[in-house]
Structure 1
C-alpha cells in the first residue's frame, strides 16, 4: 500500500452488501484502497442472522475492520444512509478504544445521527413495506420485481430497515475525527440542512460536498465520489 493510500472501510446501505463496494475496488483511484464491509444475512454471509440493532452490528464490525486493516493502518469510514449511522457509531467505538489510525468519517445521504426517522416501514405488510422502502431509498431495486428474489431478500431488508428506524445515537459527545458529509444535489430525501447537521458531531474539521444526481448518486458515479474522497485532507 502506498504511503499516501487511505484504507476506506465501506458500510452498506439497507438491503445491500459488500458486493456493491467490491465494484469500487476495480476503479482507478490509487489514493484510496476500498475495504468492503459485509453484514450478515447477505452474499457470502447469507446463512447468518442479520442484525436488527446498530449496537450489535458495531460490536462485531469494529474489531473486524481493525483486523482487516492491519496493525498501524490509517482508516477512514464511509457509509450511505444506514451505512452512515453504522460508520458513525464505529468511529465512536474506535475513538473510545483509543485506536490511533482513524483519519476521517465520510457520511453520505443521511441527516445527523441525533435526528431519528419519523416515518416508519417496520411492521407493514410486504407490499406496503416495499413501497415505503422505495420511497425512503429514492429508487426501486430491480429485485423487487421478482417475487422469488423478494422472498429471499425480504427478511434481511426488514432487519436492515428496523435497525435504521430503531437507531438512537449512543452519545451526544462530539467526535474528534474530521467529518465530511456527502449528498446528491438533487436528493429529495435528505436536505442540505439535514446533511450539515453532522457539523455538530465533531470537534474536528467539517466539510460538506454535493455530487450530481439524487439520493442514490453513488450508484451512478462511484469514481467521482472516490475522487472527492481522494482529494480530501484524509489522503493528504
Structure 2
C-alpha cells in the first residue's frame, strides 16, 4: 500500500512533549496507520521558535502544516492526550472545514473542552510549578534533573500549561466527527465523569474506554492505545481499502 494511501493518524503532543514521542508509534502501527505527529514551536526542530500560549491560536497556525503533511484527499484520525486532546479538538473543527475527512477524534486524559481545571500550575514559582506538574503527570521526567535541559524545557512547559489551563473553545458548536474518550483507569487528574463530558462535544457517535494506568498511561501502553484506536475506528469498505 502506498504511504499516502493509508489513513493518517494525526498525533498531537501533550504538554512539554514533542513529535518524537510518537515516532515509535510508526513501527508499532505497522501498516495500520500513517503516523503524522504535529510539530509545535519551542521544541525539537523548532526549539528556537516562541511557543504558543493559546490553544486556538496554536491550532489555527498549525493547520496548514498538518494539511501539507496529510496531502490532498487524505482521511485522518486525530489523537491527542491532555493538552493534545483540546488542541486535536480545535484541529478537527479546522480540518473538517477545509475538506479533510476526519474519521474519528480520540481524546485521552482530558475533561470535556468546556471544563476548566480547578488545580493549576500557571504562575507558580519554578520549584512549585515543577512539583505541581509532576503531581499532575504522576511522574518526573529525568531531563528536569539536569540544569541545562531544565532551562530548555521549562519555558515550553510553562507555555503549554498556560494555554491548557486558560483554554476556551473557539466555538460552542460540537463537531460531527465521532469521538472516543480514553483515560487511565486510575487517573487521579481526570475522573471518569470528566472524561465522559466529551459526549457533548460531538453530534456523532461517542464511546468511552479505560486502559490500565494513571494519567500518563500511554507512556507504557502505546500498543494498547493503537489497538484501541483501531478497534474504535470502524471505517466503510471504501475507506479501509484505500
* Residue of structure 1 equivalent to 2:87: 86
- Deviation per CA, 1:182-211, whole angstroms, max 9, x where unpaired? 111111111111101001110100011111
Secondary structure, aligned partner of 1:15: coil
* Residue of structure 2 equivalent to 1:148: 148
Compared CA separation, residues 106 and 146, structure 1 to 2 (3 A): same
- Deviation per CA, 1:119-176, whole angstroms, max 9, x where unpaired? 2211111101101111122221111222221112111111111111111112221110
Q: For the residues of structure 2 that align with 1:135 and 1:28, how far apart are their CA atoms?
A: 31
Question: Do residues 111 (structure 1) and 104 (structure 2) align?
Answer: no
Equivalence map 1:79-228=2 (5 Å): 79-95=80-96, 97-228=97-228
Compared CA separation, residues 234 and 56, structure 1 to 2 (3 A): farther
Superposition CA RMSD, Å: 1.6
* Residue of structure 2 equivalent to 1:52: 53
Q: CA deviation at 1:48?
A: 0.8
**Structure 1, unaligned runs of 5 or more:** none
* Residue of structure 1 equivalent to 2:42: 41
Compared CA separation, residues 127 and 180, structure 1 to 2 (3 A): same
* Residue of structure 1 equivalent to 2:74: 73
Q: CA deviation at 1:30?
A: 2.2
Q: For the residues of structure 1 that align with 2:152 and 2:95, how far apart are their CA atoms?
A: 34
Question: Do residues 232 (structure 1) and 220 (structure 2) align?
Answer: no
Runs (4 or more) in structure 1 with deviation over 3 Å come to 1-5
Q: Is the 8 A contact 2:29 2:226 kept in 1?
A: no
Q: CA deviation at 1:94?
A: 2.1
Q: CA deviation at 1:233?
A: 2.8
Q: For the residues of structure 2 that align with 1:172 and 1:12, how far apart are their CA atoms?
A: 24
* Residue of structure 2 equivalent to 1:18: 19
Compared CA separation, residues 98 and 36, structure 1 to 2 (3 A): closer
**Structure 2, unaligned runs of 5 or more:** 237-242
Q: For the residues of structure 1 that align with 2:228 and 2:85, how far apart are their CA atoms?
A: 17
Compared CA separation, residues 43 and 98, structure 1 to 2 (3 A): closer
Q: Is the 8 A contact 2:56 2:169 kept in 1?
A: no
Q: Is the 8 A contact 1:31 1:235 kept in 2?
A: no
Q: CA deviation at 1:87?
A: 0.2
Q: Is the 8 A contact 1:9 1:37 kept in 2?
A: yes
Q: Is the 8 A contact 1:29 1:223 kept in 2?
A: no
